[in-house]
Structures are given as C-alpha cells and as structure tokens.
Amino acid sequence: MKDASIHPPVHPQKGKGKDTDDGAEAHTKKKPSAKELEKRVLELESELASTKDTLLRTQADYQNLLSRSRREVEKEKAAIKEKILLRFTEPLENLERALAELDAAKGEGAESCAGTCACGANGADSKDGFGGSGKTESLASGVRLVASSLESILRSEGLEPISTIGEKFDHNRHHAIMRTETPDHEEDTVVAEIKKGYRVGDKVVQPALVVVAVKPKAEDARAESGTGGADECESDE
C-alpha cells in the first residue's frame, strides 16, 4: 500500500540571495586611507579656525561699536549740559550788572546828599540814589545773595569763568573785539572785558569778548626814530 502522505514542496528562501549581495557589497567598500583621513582632519581644522576668527572679529567689531556709541552718548550729554549751563549765565550776568548799577546809584546818592542835602545827625533823612529811604543796600544785598547762589551752582557743575583783565591775550580763550592804544599796559594785554567767557574743565565753551592793548602809534614812531630827534635838537642849539 502506497504512502498517501503528501510532502509540501520545498521553496527557496526569499531574500537570502539579496542579503548575501548586500554583505558582499559592504565588504567590497573601500575604507578611507590614513592619508585621506589626515586630509579631512586638516580641512575641518581649517574650517574651525576660520569660524573662530570670524567670531572673534565680529565680537571685536561689536565691542568697538559699543564703545563708540557710549562715547557719542557721553559727548552728546556733555554738549547738552554745557548748553543748559550757558543759558544760566545770562541771568547771572544780568544780576551782576544790576549790582553794579545799584552800587553806582548808591554812590551817586551819597555824593549828592553830601553836597546838597541837609542830612540829620542820625541819618534818618538820608536818601539813596533811587530817592528811597535807605532800602538800596538791602536790595543790593538780596541781589548779591541770589547772584552768589547761582554762581555757586554753576561752579559746582563744572562751569568756571575765564580770567581776562590783566591776562595775556590768548586766542583759545579770548576773542578780541577791539584794540586800544595805551602806554600803561604791555601790548596784547587784556585791558577790558565786554562779555564773560566760560570753560568746563579745560574745554572753552564760550570765549570771552575782550579789549586788547596795543602800543600808541606816537610811541612807536619815537622808538623807530631812536635818538635822531635829540641829536638834531643839540645841533640846532
């Protein structure tokens, strides 16, 4: 009796050949040589150095920009401060002119009273230059106090007046608007101040307007002629 059992057909395993081919292909790939690896390392190192240099340059540019911006801001702040301080010099100079007028009026009033007024022994009937009853001095004291306070504030902020009268003319600090002949001062000496000048530290923010001395022309002529005139006088005699 024949064996009736049926054996399933044997099929070849799928994919087996492909795996074999992949493995063979992987084994056939060439590994980079030591020379190629060294070359690649050098390329990467060069790229890293270039990137680092670019980063350092960018950081330096940023720091320079930051420093320049800070300097410009400080410069602008200083310019604004100087402008504001100079605005306050005008009322200060007006107060000083008012003080000069009060002192002059008081002096004129005293001279007029001494010459024409019959003043009482205790001075109660004395009049000041404004025809008042002795209030000029108290008014001058009040104006002087305000002017002194304002000047102190400006000095505390760094604003200082420029010295003028008796100083040698300096074109960096003085602006000559007039020259006057005088034998009493050396040439180029400041003999009068028309408008005050100011400085903040070593920086001149407003030059002083001044009058400068020059030698008299007659004196220059005599200096040029020397002793010729005296010799001629002796010969005439």
CB 195 within 8 A of CB 208: yes
Per-residue pLDDT at 232: 46
Q: Residue 114's pLDDT is what? A: 60
Q: Is the per-residue pLDDT at 7 higher than 80?
A: no
Distances (CA, A) of 83 to 86, 165, 199, 200, 213: 5, 25, 12, 11, 31
Q: Where are the domains of the chain?
A: 161-225
Using DSSP's 3-state secondary structure scheme, residue 6 falls into: coil
Please state, as a whole number, how many other Cβ atoms lie within 10 Å of the Cβ of residue 129.
19
DSSP of 73-110, one letter per residue?
HHHHHHHHHHHHHHHHHHHHHHHHHHHHHHHHHHHHHH
State pLDDT tens for residues 113-158.
565 554 444 444 445 545 554 677 888 889 999 999 999 999 999 9
24, pLDDT greater than 90: no
Average pLDDT for the chain: 80
pLDDT tens per residue, range 167-182: 999 999 999 999 999 9
pLDDT band for position 87 (cuts 50, 70, 90): very high
**Residue pointed to by tokens 């300096």:** 170
Strands 174-181 and 203-206: unpaired
Share above pLDDT 90 across residues of the chain, in percent, rounded to a whole number: 52
Enclosing H/E stretch for 208: strand 208-214
Domain 161-225 sits in CATH 2.30.22.10: yes
Sign of the dihedral through C-alpha 206, 210, 215, 216: positive
Considering all CA atoms of the chain, what is the largest pairwise distance in Å, rounded to the nearest integer? Answer: 190
Q: What is the pLDDT of residue 104?
A: 82
What is the pTM (predicted TM-score) of this model? 0.60
- The CA distance from 221 to 143, in Å, is 49
Q: Are 197 and 161 in contact (CB under 8 A)?
A: yes
Of the two residues 224 and 192, the one the predictor is more confident about is 192
Q: Nearest to residue 206, comparing CAs of 75, 74, 82, 78?
A: 82
Distance of CA 218 to the CA centre of its chain: 45
